[in-house]
Structure 1
Amino acid sequence: MSKPIYVLGTGLSHDGSACLLKDGEVCVAIEKERITRIKHDGFCDSEAMQYCLDAEGISFDDVSAVVQNANFSNFDRGNKIFHGQPRIIPDHVKTVTISHHLAHAYSVVGTSPFDDMAVLVIDGCGSSWDDCLDLDGAHVPEAQPGADFNHLFFEKDSYYLYEKGKLRPVYKDFSPFGYFLKGYSMCPPTTKHSIGGLYSGVSQYVFQGMEDPGKLMGLAPYGRPGVYDFQAFECRDGRVFVNYDWMKHFNRPRVRYEDLAENFDYYADIAYWMQREIERALLYLVNHRFEHQPHKNLGYAGGVALNAVANAKLLKQTGFEDFYFQPAAADNGLAIGCAYYGWLEVLGQERIKHDASPYFGKSYEAEELYPAMQTYAGKISYRRLPEDEAINRTAELLAEGKVVAWFEKGSEFGPRALGHRSILADPRNPDVREHINRNVKFREDFRPFAPSVPLEKAGVYFDCDYPSPYMILVAPTREEWKKEIPAVVHADGSARVQTVTESVSPNYYRLLNKFGELTGVYVLLNTSFNKKGMPIVETPKEALDFFMECALDALVIDGCLIEKAAVAQAPRKVDEKKEWEKGLGSLYPENVGI
């Protein structure tokens, strides 16, 4: 048997990550925040790289190439120091650095189902002109700024063609940085004229944090049309520019936690207006790129590609026929693109089509769960169940109105929980949304929840004629089902749907179908296994800790059903390890209750 070929990719940005390819396929990948437990953690990549190597049981000596994304000026002493932090890549390992949008584009190339496609990248800020490796052959509408200013112009959108195994740039647009305009309360925090930059600026205005554009999308349906008629963007000559004159009308940025509740309509109206403006700008830009260089298929990445509402408009109002939305579209996906660039371009290997799975985290052994459970001796009951029985019992609990956390094998890569690190509930219960927001996730009441549904049944409940496996598209809920599944229907009647297939997620698919058999409704409320401001749980211990501090009713970890004891007992001297091996929960046996 020949020795495997490994390539390690790493994204040195906010939302840092690492991805390890084995013979051209993802064998493990992780976002740094899942390890450090710091939301959006990034930049120095040592923890994420080590996680991948350890999960595969290899060292850097086994890696043929490391490919990274960062601005070249941020490195010191070769690759040894990044932003003042030491890195762990040995000197003898071949290391290649690529530019930002190129990494995003290869994250699409590597994971897309298409053999050939157009690739679009739109975000808040990419690499500077000086650092771009993909300018040759691209149409750049603005003249080169000149050597003294190249470092101040940054990528804002890029368009490529991937055909016959090669990616080539077609159109790239740049913008000066926006920090000279900080006097505006909604000023883009990155480039002056990027769609993603302005969306982040408005998010900062409404939520006090640039990391919350998803919240802005969730708030928008509560706003009223016609309150604001400013055009946030000027669209001309195939380009999108941010207007600034209208910003002087907005001088009430949120500064206190209470401001949102006290002025809810004001901020909701802003969110509604901004969402409509984002959609207008995107439709203009995407249709222009299609006319400039048409193609049947479009792969899409960059932070703006996470806007599920706008994505649904692109499906219906552009010339492209088929779409692939990269599930880790933001900077957490850079590592995936870097790894595939290493495989395809650095090593010159053939592309191997990805199997559509987003579950890139390592699996945890039962032995790793047991020590975590010992922490809560006397406070929990558990039972290890055969796979079918675990699925059936979980479906029964959900049908009884319980809120259940579902933890299975390797974690999802990206911002959405897709059935491996999920909190699940019955969508028929109109009160469960408020209960989970207030007592489980501890977040704002307006935040919506997504439905998971078997792909073949999605059209029954939603006006959804397109697969949405990564929860990155919204669809209208069919009128006859709005009152039947209220917990997953947003204020405007829409839902951010996840379609589930047996080939990608067999156990979650079976759980959905078992719940459907019991209730007649083949839909589950699915939200990420975390609370406000916390990354999605990664390990069994993190899952147990969160389970014990909130109002979850049950936790299922790889077939082990865990519930809280009705009456907590003081720990006693029992051979818990022996009981664990027998498979019947023993913390303590009399508290199993099932």
Structure 2
Amino acid sequence: MRTNNQLAVLGLCSFTHDSAAALVVGGRLTGMAEEERLSGVKHTRAYPAGAVRWLLDDAGLTPADVDIVAYNFAGQRYLAGLVDTPSHLMRPATRSRALARAASLAVIHHRYRQRVRILGSLFPNARVRPVPHHVAHGMYAFAASGFREAAVLIIDSLGETHTTSIGSGIALPAGDIRYQIRRSVRDPASLGYAYGAVTVHLGWRRGDEEGTVMALAATGDPARFRDVFARAIRLTPTAFTLDPGLFPLRVLRHGWPRVTPAFAAATCPPRGPDEAVTQVHADVAAALQERTEQVMVHLANRAQAVTGARRLCLGGGVAMNCVGIGKILQSGRWDEVYVPPAPGDSGTPVGAALAAHREVTGAVPGGLVRSCYLGPSYADFTPPQAPAPGLTTQQVDDPARFLAEQLAAGKIAGLFQGRLEAGPRALGNRSILASPLIPDMANRLNAAVKFREPFRPFAPVVLAEHAAEYFSLGQPSPFMSIAVPVTRLARDRVPAVVHANGTARVQTLTREVRCCPFHGHAITGLYQLYAASGIDVRLAW
């Protein structure tokens, strides 16, 4: 292994979902990329060959130069879930699934060992270091925040045997970080599991279309099924539990339903993907979303009670629930709430690499604080002289002004420039742009560009100095992580960005290079586009 100044640590998320990779070389994060952005396969579970190849090529390394492969799971911990089998066998509500659950945990552990061997064979001089899943989430969320001290709340479906963790982060001298998990919630109490189960019941894909259910919730009445979800997801003084009579005990294999017949009887029959979306589906979604927000706020309050912190970092798949994040911010208990640009599993390679690097060197790599534009760029790309049929090319002297004029004229534009964003949000480098001043613009985008449900909203971007005029935000939001209520001015001037529940998932744009979507071009790009043209807000996927 080379010296700490030369150490190459490759973080990986692979073989599960949202495959991605991150690379640390010489004490700096050089980049990260999600495989789906390169392969076009959404939520791919394949080994992230394209992302790894780009990272190593960009750093001038080969697989033989990698010293540590930091994997985002500590799979031996799955076996710890077996100790709960006797208690599940004793309970009538969980007895029928207890042995199948135990067998599935053993299979997952076996597959984990196979995966570690595969990774070891790909990097002949590297040591594969497993990193507990919630440690990977938490290290990334806290290190990226730049906070000196914060509570760290991770909420997902399952990380080994845990679903929720409360940690504390402290930034120490000499670039070190102390991150400690203080409390945790074990499966089967899983907010991510419950939300995914209802997503499937309502006819959408688990792990992909929970955002669709969140959007649909704004059009429903939560009162209709409020009592059902209060029983299904019960608050406790320190966390929450799931009712196995409604959300059955998890079995980590395909083909095991995630809601019971009793749940369907209390809400609605399962909806097929091609069936019409009706009011009952919207009402179920609304009740689920309301209960999810209540649990998220409850857990955030618990995190403050445990840590005493006034700043909060969040991670895990449930941290993608921007409406719930907004409720936490609106509780008024926190000075600032931070969600990294890739809070789901695609961000865990960064956290895994940080944790492994710290374990060896005693320091956490730099180059991460509030960073988002970490993927490949295509600076050498030259458009072909003969574009595809029906298209023309045009070289313009002032791209920002040209684009502003096109948007003001009602055109829809695709923007491709700079380094690829981390995470699922389009944050200015790979974005669809349109003017929010046109009332029916969201309908046009959904129908003619995105080809998706008409109730799906689009997110606004606003210059930071104008944010308070349009949105009840009160803090920066550079990564479209928080949905907050809009002001009357927003309703009057930019109605296309206002969702049915009166909120918008906003991105604030500043002059700072590290937060500017035209990364590396100072105040040119989107900031210049808005500042020069007077268009204060845009729509983006």
Normalising by structure 2, what TM-score? 0.82
**Alignment correspondent of 2:343:** 329
**Alignment correspondent of 2:179:** 167
Task: Tell me if the contact between 1:477 and 1:489 (Cα under 8 Å) persists in the aligned partners.
Answer: yes
**Alignment correspondent of 1:376:** 387
Separation (CA, whole Å) in 2 of partners of 1:42 and 1:461: 39
Task: Tell me if the contact between 1:283 and 1:318 (Cα under 8 Å) persists in the aligned partners.
Answer: no
1:378, CA displacement in angstroms?
5.3
**Alignment correspondent of 1:216:** 213
Aligned letter for 1:321? D
Q: How does 1:362-441 map to 2 (within 5 A)?
A: 362-366=376-380, 368-370=381-383, 373=384, 376=387, 379-386=390-397, 389-441=398-450
Separation (CA, whole Å) in 2 of partners of 1:111 and 1:169: 17
1:511, CA displacement in angstroms?
4.8
Task: Tell me if the contact between 2:477 and 2:508 (Cα under 8 Å) persists in the aligned partners.
Answer: yes
Secondary structure at the aligned position of 1:439 is classed as helix
Separation (CA, whole Å) in 1 of partners of 2:118 and 2:127: 16
The structure 1 residue matched to 2:9, chosen from 7, 10, 34, is 7
The 1:467–1:233 alpha-carbon spacing in structure 2 relative to 1, beyond 3 Å, is same
1:38, CA displacement in angstroms?
1.0
Separation (CA, whole Å) in 2 of partners of 1:419 and 1:250: 40
1:77, CA displacement in angstroms?
5.9
Task: Tell me if the contact between 1:457 and 1:522 (Cα under 8 Å) persists in the aligned partners.
Answer: yes
Separation (CA, whole Å) in 2 of partners of 1:104 and 1:67: 13
Separation (CA, whole Å) in 2 of partners of 1:282 and 1:506: 30
- Higher helix proportion (structure 1 or 2): 2
Separation (CA, whole Å) in 1 of partners of 2:504 and 2:143: 29
User: How many residues end up aligned between the 2 structures?
Assistant: 472
Residue 91 (1) aligns with residue 87 (2): no
1:234, CA displacement in angstroms?
1.0
Aligned letter for 2:118? I
Secondary structure at the aligned position of 2:135 is classed as helix
Identify unmatched segments of 5+ residues in structure 2: 77-108, 247-261
Normalising by structure 1, what TM-score? 0.75
Separation (CA, whole Å) in 2 of partners of 1:88 and 1:416: 34
Deviations 1:246-297 (A, max 9, x none): 624134111141322xx2x111111111111001112222212321332122
Aligned letter for 2:271? R
The 1:235–1:339 alpha-carbon spacing in structure 2 relative to 1, beyond 3 Å, is same
Separation (CA, whole Å) in 1 of partners of 2:363 and 2:347: 21
Separation (CA, whole Å) in 2 of partners of 1:355 and 1:99: 22
Separation (CA, whole Å) in 1 of partners of 2:51 and 2:533: 42
The structure 1 residue matched to 2:274, chosen from 248, 257, 280, is 257
**Alignment correspondent of 1:126:** 159
Separation (CA, whole Å) in 2 of partners of 1:297 and 1:422: 30
Deviations 1:342-382 (A, max 9, x none): 2222332345363422111111133x343xx3673553222
Separation (CA, whole Å) in 2 of partners of 1:251 and 1:390: 51
Separation (CA, whole Å) in 1 of partners of 2:59 and 2:517: 23
Deviations 1:207-264 (A, max 9, x none): 331021111111111012421222131111312111345624134111141322xx2x
Residue 361 (1) aligns with residue 362 (2): no
**Alignment correspondent of 1:202:** 198
The 1:38–1:524 alpha-carbon spacing in structure 2 relative to 1, beyond 3 Å, is same
Aligned letter for 1:307? N
Q: Mean alpha-carbon deviation: is it higher for 507-516 or for 473-482?
A: 507-516
The structure 2 residue matched to 1:158, chosen from 148, 153, 165, is 165
Secondary structure at the aligned position of 2:285 is classed as helix
Aligned letter for 2:428? G
Task: Tell me if the contact between 2:29 and 2:367 (Cα under 8 Å) persists in the aligned partners.
Answer: no
Aligned letter for 1:7? V
Deviations 1:14-41 (A, max 9, x none): 1110001233332221111122211100
Task: Tell me if the contact between 1:110 and 1:353 (Cα under 8 Å) persists in the aligned partners.
Answer: no
Q: How does 1:13-412 map to 2 (within 5 A)?
A: 13-70=16-73, 71-72=75-76, 73=109, 74-76=111-113, 79-81=116-118, 89-127=122-160, 154-163=161-170, 164=172, 165-175=177-187, 192-210=188-206, 211-230=208-227, 231=230, 232-243=232-243, 244-245=245-246, 247=263, 248-260=265-277, 263=278, 265-317=279-331, 319-352=333-366, 354-366=368-380, 368-370=381-383, 373=384, 376=387, 379-386=390-397, 389-412=398-421
The 1:431–1:114 alpha-carbon spacing in structure 2 relative to 1, beyond 3 Å, is same
Separation (CA, whole Å) in 2 of partners of 1:351 and 1:302: 21
Identify unmatched segments of 5+ residues in structure 1: 128-153, 176-191, 528-594
Aligned letter for 1:173? V
1:519, CA displacement in angstroms?
6.0
Please give the root-mean-square deviation of Cα atoms over the aligned residues, in Å: 2.3
Task: Tell me if the contact between 2:154 and 2:316 (Cα under 8 Å) persists in the aligned partners.
Answer: yes
Aligned letter for 1:80? R
Separation (CA, whole Å) in 1 of partners of 2:486 and 2:300: 26
Separation (CA, whole Å) in 1 of partners of 2:47 and 2:214: 30
Task: Tell me if the contact between 1:391 and 1:507 (Cα under 8 Å) persists in the aligned partners.
Answer: no
Secondary structure at the aligned position of 1:335 is classed as helix
1:317, CA displacement in angstroms?
1.8
1:521, CA displacement in angstroms?
3.6
**Alignment correspondent of 2:504:** 495
Separation (CA, whole Å) in 2 of partners of 1:291 and 1:349: 29
Separation (CA, whole Å) in 1 of partners of 2:214 and 2:23: 32
